[in-house]
Copies of this chain bind each other. A is one copy, B any other.
Amino acid sequence: METGPLGTHTLIELHRCDAGLLNDEVRLRSVMLEAVRRSKAHIIKDVFHSFSPHGVTGVVVIAESHVAIHTWPEYSYAAVDVFSCSEKMSVETVVEYLRDHLRCQEIKMTKFKRGTGLRP
């Protein structure tokens, strides 16, 4: 008997965000961690890194899988992805919190089921 999917992977394009925030590793980390907390996910560890001359990468490893962000302040753009294997986690909460706190004016989202057609 087949089972799955095991989770949903959501790719989120954040356009026309606040460029200053996208380049501020400390504030971006704080926004990301709060977004993840509010989604009811369980944070295990996070890694953030600033690039020269600009851009930040951040990954939050969660019990439910991961939330990652990569920013291009020069385009006021951020690429986010949320992989969640729990229906209790609200991906919408992550997206709305990031939209509001990174001041994004345009969002595109695509969802993919991961781990389909599995057999034990």
Contact = CB atoms under 8 A, between A and B. Distances in A.
Interface of A: 3-4, 6-7, 9, 11, 13, 15, 44-45, 47, 49, 51, 57, 59, 61, 63, 65-66, 68, 70, 72, 74-75, 77, 79, 81, 83, 85, 110, 112, 114-116, 118-120
B77 A70 contact: no
Contact of A13 (B3, B75, B77, B115): B115
Contacts of A70: 7, 65-66, 83, 85
Given A75-B115, A79-B9, A110-B112, A57 B66 contact: yes
B68 A6 contact: no
Given A7-B70, A59-B61, 11 more contacts: A6-B79, A9-B11, A9-B79, A9-B81, A11-B114, A13-B116, A44-B49, A57-B65, A72-B115, A72-B118, A75-B119
A80 B117 CA distance: 16
A79 B11 contact: no
Nearest to A61: B47
Contacts of A59: 47, 59, 61, 66, 68
